């Protein structure tokens, strides 16, 4: 892997599309020309492009199959700007095989649209003007974790090395789309913060910091290329780099950043492993230390949920409060608190939700609006098993995932009817919406749910109810969140 490039993909940067408006991002265009010159100077056998606008799945990395593809900017009003590329089929096959061997869901299945997307064509527009003697590998992003994107990048680099390819990696992706109130996507305070942080990380090439971006923050910032940048970072893992920040513009309300990364080689042109730049290993070690500290601080409610799901996943056998109660209570700091906790778990009936996250992403959440079991302890045990193995949105959690799980337990108060949304507060109250036999619930204080209207709309969507329907009844409840 000779070099990597962080680039944006605004179609307007192509003069035939911009028709004069591209002048406002002239700085970005000049930086792009520099990237193209560098690639022409390297003369790579293969250009690898990851694009947010290629085929994308929630749980799978799609690598474009076949011998090649064509595309044009016709959907942007410039059908005369067209291009065709040949794919590096041998490298595509080896990446797919090695990803499968590494347990990474990636390959050439699931092709929906073979034509080139604009996230791929904008970089190619500049590259092809200067150099065309290469084959292409085009890879889509996924909804999988940031660490999975990094691992796939590592697999790509290993495949490149195995075949003896001279390759460059082009990480296509815009920054935040929420930089200006008069921009096409509006403004969010997280937008400028994201741009500042990501440009600092990418200009320093401290790639372990890419994992510090919370998924909810990324969503609110409406970024486009973060996973693309992470995948490139994986392809440059353990590699010494010469880094240059070429440009950053935000004049359109969308962030465009360009950085270049050239591998450092010895006098014989060989690159050597730099263990100081084994960023995934470094992050995972830090992450495990953090998770260990959190587990040590979990209260009895969460310990009970964790014991329940761990037992069921390992042995297929659910635990009982009678068998595990002492283990759970032993970590309570005083006899008085142990007694109070046991009373709350065994003498109270209440609905409860168990939420499971892994690497910042939801991995399962199941709960009960009202009590089903005779005591709260059994409610938590049953819902922990369901959240980890029966949430229809996710595959069942496997034993190798257990060390990476973060668990919350929300205990619900009894729901009370309310007459209007004015009696709700997204931070304090959860909401239940009901219309006939359809019923939907949303917990309070959730990332990304900032208004009552959002809260009610999401609860309605979960119930299959239109928020505009007449006759919707509302209830509210409070929760005690255990972590």
Contact between residue 308 and residue 380 where contact means Cβ atoms under 8 Å apart: yes
Report the pLDDT value the prediction gives residue 323, as an integer from 0 to 100: 80
Report the pLDDT value the prediction gives residue 333, as an integer from 0 to 100: 84
Which long-range contacts (C-beta less than 8 Å, at least 24 apart) are formed by 456-462? 456/421, 456/424, 456/431, 459/431, 459/432, 459/433, 460/433
Report the pLDDT value the prediction gives residue 41, as an integer from 0 to 100: 97
Report the pLDDT value the prediction gives residue 172, as an integer from 0 to 100: 98
Helix ranges (H only) for 317-375 are 321-329, 335-346
Segment holding 474, helix H or strand E = strand 473-477
Give me the average pLDDT of each 10-residue run along the chain (483 residues). Answer: 98 97 97 98 98 96 98 97 98 98 96 96 98 98 95 98 97 97 94 98 97 92 97 97 97 97 82 87 92 93 96 93 83 88 94 93 93 96 97 94 95 94 94 94 89 94 91 94 93
Q: Rounded to an integer, what distance in angstroms lies between the CA atom of residue 305 and that of residue 386?
A: 11
Report all structural domains of the chain as residue ranges with CATH numbers, in order of start.
3-288 (3.40.830.10), 297-408 (3.30.700.20), 413-483 (3.30.1490.150)
DSSP string, 210-257: GGGS-HHHHHHHT-SSHHHHHHHHHHTTT--EEEEEEEEE-TTSS-EE
The phi-psi region of residue 164 (left if phi > 0; otherwise alpha if psi is between -120 and 50; otherwise beta) is left
Helix, strand, coil shares of the chain, percent, nearest 5, are 45, 25, 35
Report the pLDDT value the prediction gives residue 37, as an integer from 0 to 100: 98
Report the pLDDT value the prediction gives residue 350, as an integer from 0 to 100: 96
Report the pLDDT value the prediction gives residue 15, as an integer from 0 to 100: 97
Report the pLDDT value the prediction gives residue 324, as an integer from 0 to 100: 77
């Amino acid at each position: 892997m000779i070099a990597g490039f962080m680039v944006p993909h605004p179609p307007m940067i192509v003069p035939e599309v911009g028709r004069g408006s591209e002048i406002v991002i002239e700085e970005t265009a000049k930086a792009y020309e520099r990237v193209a010159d560098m690639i022409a100077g390297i003369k790579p056998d293969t250009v690898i492009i990851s694009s947010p606008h290629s085929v994308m799945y929630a749980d799978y990395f799609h690598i474009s199959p076949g011998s090649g593809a064509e595309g044009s900017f016709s959907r942007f009003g410039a059908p005369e700007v067209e291009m065709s590329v040949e794919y590096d089929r041998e490298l595509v096959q080896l990446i797919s095989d090695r990803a499968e061997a590494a347990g990474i869901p990636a390959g050439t299945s699931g092709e929906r649209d073979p034509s080139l997307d604009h996230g791929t064509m904008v970089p190619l527009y500049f590259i092809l003007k200067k150099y065309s003697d290469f084959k292409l590998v085009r890879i889509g992003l996924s909804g999988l974790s940031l660490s999975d994107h990094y691992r796939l990048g590592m697999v790509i680099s290993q495949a490149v090395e195995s075949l003896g390819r001279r390759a460059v990696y082009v990480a296509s992706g815009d920054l935040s789309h929420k930089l200006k109130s008069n921009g096409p996507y509006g403004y969010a305070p997280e937008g400028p913060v994201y741009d500042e942080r990501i440009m600092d990380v990418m200009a320093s090439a401290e790639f372990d910091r890419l994992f510090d971006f919370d998924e909810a923050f990324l969503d609110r910032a409406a970024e486009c290329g973060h996973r693309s940048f992470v995948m490139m970072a994986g392809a440059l893992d353990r590699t010494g780099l010469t880094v240059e920040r070429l440009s950053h513009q935000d004049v359109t309300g969308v962030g465009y950043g360009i950085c270049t990364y050239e591998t450092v080689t010895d006098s014989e042109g060989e690159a050597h492993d730099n263990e100081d730049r084994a960023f995934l290993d470094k992050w995972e070690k830090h992450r495990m230390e953090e998770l260990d500290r959190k587990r040590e601080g979990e209260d009895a409610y969460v310990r009970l949920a964790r014991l329940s799901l761990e037992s069921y996943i390992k042995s297929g056998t659910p635990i009982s409060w009678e068998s595990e109660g002492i283990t759970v209570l032993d970590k309570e700091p005083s006899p008085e608190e142990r007694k109070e906790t046991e009373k709350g778990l065994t003498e109270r009936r209440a609905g409860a939700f168990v939420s499971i996250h892994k690497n910042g992403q939801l991995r399962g959440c199941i709960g009960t609006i009202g009590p089903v079991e005779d005591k709260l302890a059994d409610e938590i045990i049953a819902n922990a098993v369901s959240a980890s193995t029966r949430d229809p949105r996710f595959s069942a959690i496997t034993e190798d995932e257990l060390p990476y799980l973060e668990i919350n337990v929300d205990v619900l108060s009894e729901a009370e009817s309310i007459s209007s949304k004015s009696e709700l507060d997204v931070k304090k109250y959860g909401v239940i919406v009901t219309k006939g036999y359809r019923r939907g619930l949303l917990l309070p204080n959730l990332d990304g749910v900032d208004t009552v209207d959002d809260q009610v709309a999401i609860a309605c969507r979960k119930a299959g109810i239109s928020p505009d329907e007449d006759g919707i009844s509302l209830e509210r409840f409070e929760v005690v969140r255990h972590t």
